[in-house]
Amino acid sequence: MPVSKSKRSRYTPPPPKKAPPSPLWVPVALCTLMLTGLVVVLANYLQALPGDTENRYLIVGLVLITSGFGLATTYR
Protein backbone atom coordinates (compact mmCIF):
# COMPACT_ATOMS: atom_id res chain seq x y z
CA MET A 1 0.00 0.00 0.00
CA PRO A 2 1.48 3.45 -0.94
CA VAL A 3 2.36 5.92 1.79
CA SER A 4 0.12 8.97 1.86
CA LYS A 5 1.58 12.42 1.33
CA SER A 6 0.74 13.54 4.84
CA LYS A 7 2.88 10.80 6.38
CA ARG A 8 6.00 11.48 4.30
CA SER A 9 8.77 13.26 6.10
CA ARG A 10 9.88 16.54 4.61
CA TYR A 11 13.49 17.54 4.22
CA THR A 12 14.64 19.98 6.85
CA PRO A 13 18.03 21.56 6.23
CA PRO A 14 20.59 21.44 9.04
CA PRO A 15 20.82 24.55 11.21
CA PRO A 16 23.40 27.10 10.05
CA LYS A 17 26.77 26.94 11.75
CA LYS A 18 27.66 29.78 14.08
CA ALA A 19 30.56 31.93 13.05
CA PRO A 20 33.56 31.66 15.37
CA PRO A 21 34.22 34.65 17.62
CA SER A 22 36.73 37.23 16.51
CA PRO A 23 40.32 36.94 17.69
CA LEU A 24 41.44 39.26 20.46
CA TRP A 25 43.43 41.54 18.14
CA VAL A 26 40.27 42.72 16.33
CA PRO A 27 38.67 44.71 19.19
CA VAL A 28 42.08 45.91 20.36
CA ALA A 29 42.99 47.21 16.89
CA LEU A 30 39.51 48.67 16.45
CA CYS A 31 39.72 50.74 19.64
CA THR A 32 43.33 51.72 18.97
CA LEU A 33 42.57 52.99 15.46
CA MET A 34 39.52 54.96 16.52
CA LEU A 35 41.14 56.52 19.58
CA THR A 36 44.32 57.39 17.69
CA GLY A 37 42.26 59.03 14.94
CA LEU A 38 40.31 61.01 17.52
CA VAL A 39 43.52 62.18 19.21
CA VAL A 40 45.00 63.26 15.87
CA VAL A 41 41.89 65.25 14.93
CA LEU A 42 41.69 66.91 18.36
CA ALA A 43 45.41 67.68 18.40
CA ASN A 44 45.07 69.26 14.97
CA TYR A 45 42.34 71.61 16.14
CA LEU A 46 44.19 72.42 19.36
CA GLN A 47 47.30 73.20 17.28
CA ALA A 48 49.35 70.68 19.28
CA LEU A 49 50.92 69.17 16.17
CA PRO A 50 53.94 70.62 14.37
CA GLY A 51 53.02 73.35 11.92
CA ASP A 52 49.73 75.13 11.66
CA THR A 53 46.37 73.38 11.52
CA GLU A 54 46.71 71.45 8.29
CA ASN A 55 44.32 69.35 6.28
CA ARG A 56 46.72 66.42 6.07
CA TYR A 57 46.46 65.83 9.84
CA LEU A 58 42.69 65.95 9.59
CA ILE A 59 42.73 63.48 6.69
CA VAL A 60 45.06 61.12 8.58
CA GLY A 61 42.77 61.22 11.61
CA LEU A 62 39.66 60.58 9.54
CA VAL A 63 41.33 57.70 7.69
CA LEU A 64 42.23 56.12 11.04
CA ILE A 65 38.65 56.49 12.31
CA THR A 66 37.25 55.10 9.06
CA SER A 67 39.63 52.14 9.28
CA GLY A 68 38.33 51.48 12.78
CA PHE A 69 34.76 51.49 11.52
CA GLY A 70 35.76 49.17 8.68
CA LEU A 71 37.31 46.78 11.16
CA ALA A 72 34.15 46.97 13.28
CA THR A 73 32.19 45.34 10.47
CA THR A 74 34.22 42.13 10.89
CA TYR A 75 33.84 41.99 14.68
CA ARG A 76 31.66 39.17 16.05
Averaged confidence pLDDT in the chain: 89
Task: Determine the pLDDT at residue 19.
Answer: 87
**pTM of the predicted protein model:** 0.75
CA distance 14 to 58: 50
* 3 has a pLDDT exceeding 70: no
CA distance 30 to 44: 21
* 51 has a pLDDT exceeding 90: no
Q: Over range 28-41, report the average pLDDT.
A: 97
Q: Measured in whole angstroms, how far is the alpha carbon of residue 34 from the centre of its chain?
A: 11
* 5 has a pLDDT exceeding 90: no
* 2 has a pLDDT exceeding 90: no
More confident residue, 44 or 1: 44
